[in-house]
Chain A
Amino acid sequence: MSVTNKHVDFFRRKDRLLNGGGNKASEKQMALGKLSARDRITALLDLNSFYEFDLFVEHRCRDFDMDKRVLPGDGVITGTGSIMGYPVCIYAQDFTVAGGSLGLMHARKITKIMDHAIKMGMPIIGINDSGGARIQEGVDSLAGYGEIFYRNTLASGIVPQISVILGPCAGGAVYSPALTDFVFVVDKISKMFITGPEVIKTVLGEEISMEDLGGARVHSEISGNAHFYARNELECFHMIKQLFTFIPWNNRRKAERYPVKTPKAKFDIERIVPMDSRKPYDVRNVICALCDNSEFLDVHAHWAANIVVGFARIDGETVGIVANQPMVLAGVLDVDSSDKAARFIRFCDAFGIPLITFVDLPGYLPGVDQEHAGVIRHGAKLLYAFSEATVPKITIILRKAYGGGYIAMCSRHLGADFVVAWPTAEIAVMGPEGAANIIFKNEIAGAPDPAGMRRQKVAEYTEKFANPYVAAASGHIDAVISPAATRDFLIHAIQVSANKSEVRPYRKHGIPPF
């Protein structure tokens, strides 16, 4: 064979493989409103930045006439590239090839690129679009899943891991995304569940659509399995790029610094928080009034909305924000919000991102459902995560900080480096109503006018204790600062924390209340 013929042969082989599952399968994929695996990679990565690994890999299954079937790339495209200059490892399952089913070689392509990501300190992005295990390959396919989960766990806290669910992701396959840091879902396209509607119908007689069982909305609003919800694939890719501006490449690097931009004038820090602590407001406006360019990336925006977590920048540096949201359920802590915040805090701590906590909460949500759902265990995750974190921790008490909620929201007692309060703060063992009822129980009961006496005692308690000065007198908070001075304070705190080092005794790992 001449050199020219070898080149012709090479291009012929390559073209055949690049065509994936062929035109018919591609048309089906398009009809579902889905991009092809290759187009997804092109849309997400920088222009011409993708270098493919393992295009020529072939499956080895010999049973059930599988030896006669050619599966281009074994149903998955893997490689390296960049997103806005950030190096990334990526894989995209190709649904047009045997339904994107996962066989051993398919899995080995994924684990190879994951190993590469861990070694090179690059984030890994997995685009999931697969019917599940390749049944013909039997237990080999299970081995493949297990090897992926193992690497997800090893990579955790070393490189950021991002899962994008752009099709079905069912059965065991869901556990890879569940082990990663951020899961993106797209309306009407993403489907995630352990057991599908058919099995549920057979076993339980319950009828439910795929969308209602494990669609994008379900996972972003109810289960909390998804962190970001997009209306279509392109919006989803835009959100991934936005996330990439905030996070570092790996745990040994700092997140990229961006040029400092002041907050937008429409967010007036003096006028967001109402004086009356029973009145709601959107805490995201406080965040936007303080952070660079008023740019805030809300993580888990639709789930457990009574706490807000996400990324912003102060003085050009990425910070992680945790804030009670008085607009939803009065900003209480509960099972889901504790879980949500704890996970986010651990991500920030693993990747060296300073934490800023905004406090305004009446306490924990009362209720049988909460107690039986284990609010003790889940609430403890928040205490654990804040205490464990050694990144700079800055806490700003906006209004209410009562009881256990005060302690849990990154108080000085959990190792915060800076704790300041606004003049509107109320830092106390409990709300004035509850406290007056207990402390002055006898006076109230014995008074000729108990209701009047209660009002008087509540007013006395409020006057004396519903302020930041009692806590300041004990040094539990460092300072009382005005809203207008808060951005300058945050910039200062971030700057002076640049060399924070906190060394703890050696341990293999802690045992958080999972």
Chain B
Amino acid sequence: MAALDQTQVKEGIDQETVDTVREVGGAYKYGWETEIEMEYAPKGLSPDIVRLISEKNEEPEWMTEWRLQAYERWLTKEEPNWAMVDYPEIDFQDQYYYARPKSMEVKPKSLDEVDPKLLETYKKLGIPLKEQMILAGVEGAEDAPAEGRKVAVDAVFDSVSVGTTFQAELKAAGVIFCSISEAIREHPELVKKYLGTVVPVSDNFYATLNSAVFSDGSFVYVPPGVRCPMELSTYFRINAENTGQFERTLIIADKGSYVSYLEGCTAPARDIAQLHAAVVEIIVEEDAEVKYSTVQNWYPGDENGKGGIYNFVTKRADCRGDRSKIMWTQVETGSAVTWKYPSCILRGNESQGEFYSIAIANNYQQADTGTKMVHLGKNTKSRIVSKGISAGHAQNTYRGLVSMHPKAKNARNYTQCDSLLIGNKCGAHTVPYIEVKNNSARVEHEATTSKVDDEQLFYCRSRGMDEEEAVALVVNGFCKDVLQALPMEFAMEAQQLVAISLEGSVG
């Protein structure tokens, strides 16, 4: 009986997907722009800009130095060109590296003082009212009664974290969840100890750039033995024009702790491409477990490939302790160009890394994404399930590395890469790299490529579904293994996104 009731819940989700698709009816859902007075730093990148960003965030000297060193490194680095993506050269001096809503300069005392445009933005993003108040920085908002399930939210609006919800409750559990700029001020010992230890300053061109100019982002510390009492969530939104968003996220799960972290991203529709270069570092100590889920729907550009976000992201988790676990789940439907490989360093013995990915590329989107599983410890295990969907003129590449080091005795990897093509002008590519340096390691790789065939669509349509419902149903079926790995609320959102991002892909 319990099993059947569960079926009922799942039925509900599917229906909601279909409803939302109908309501939304085509265009990019988050493509609006909020007219808020912004404070910008001058365009371009220089040591002065780096100092300015640091100063605006009221950072200590050591942090400013750290950034400046990164800037010097960046000058010597070259943009990577090995990915299967093609975009016009980016003029890094023609970008704003810092922008923030003017109203954030002084914290508002009540909801009336909050820029109503900002509240409107949160509302459109689907953030509940109480969280809206907290995010807007209204005093006393924390004590207001909450509706529904608790999710602590941190919102980053252009460059600045505008507020984190449920601070008090998290504090009681000993969990620190705040903006990274606050963490630098309030918890320098933690930040100093961990920042840049998973993704070194000189890791790659974009990570180095991020290290110099990151303006905000989220910080999480879960103390030993603590199971974080709620899901932590961050919304990133790029609003201002010609602005790069460079957020930095640092998550530390101390011994025996657990945390589930959700990340959602949107941006307004613009003709000119915008840059997004984030870094996420995760440290997982002994017996700790971290789940990191992303629903990325940055503006993908219009149907002719104009505009959109260039998403160049470095995400890496270091499973330092024995028996530690990391699970990356990503649903990538947005961005004009995606360059992203959330990776797992499996250092601790018996540590485990999992990577579940759905990457959808429609129209002229290009996605080059995958993961790296670096097995260093004994009996380490990893699992990769990648579902790539290409439609329109899009190119979608899975690029993954599985590396079994000499000491990784009895390490195991299982990789499954499935590609689905819609139409005949798109492409799917699978580029698996496998390095095995010990005899006891075992690596399995399975790959399939299939098409949404006319027979399937006709079958659905002959039962009464229209073409878009039919495509959404078939594609959601294809992605099922990954959708199941997402937390419930995210799974719903992801299903809707899958449907929305493929609208107009057939016929």
The reply to whether chain A is a binding partner of chain B is no
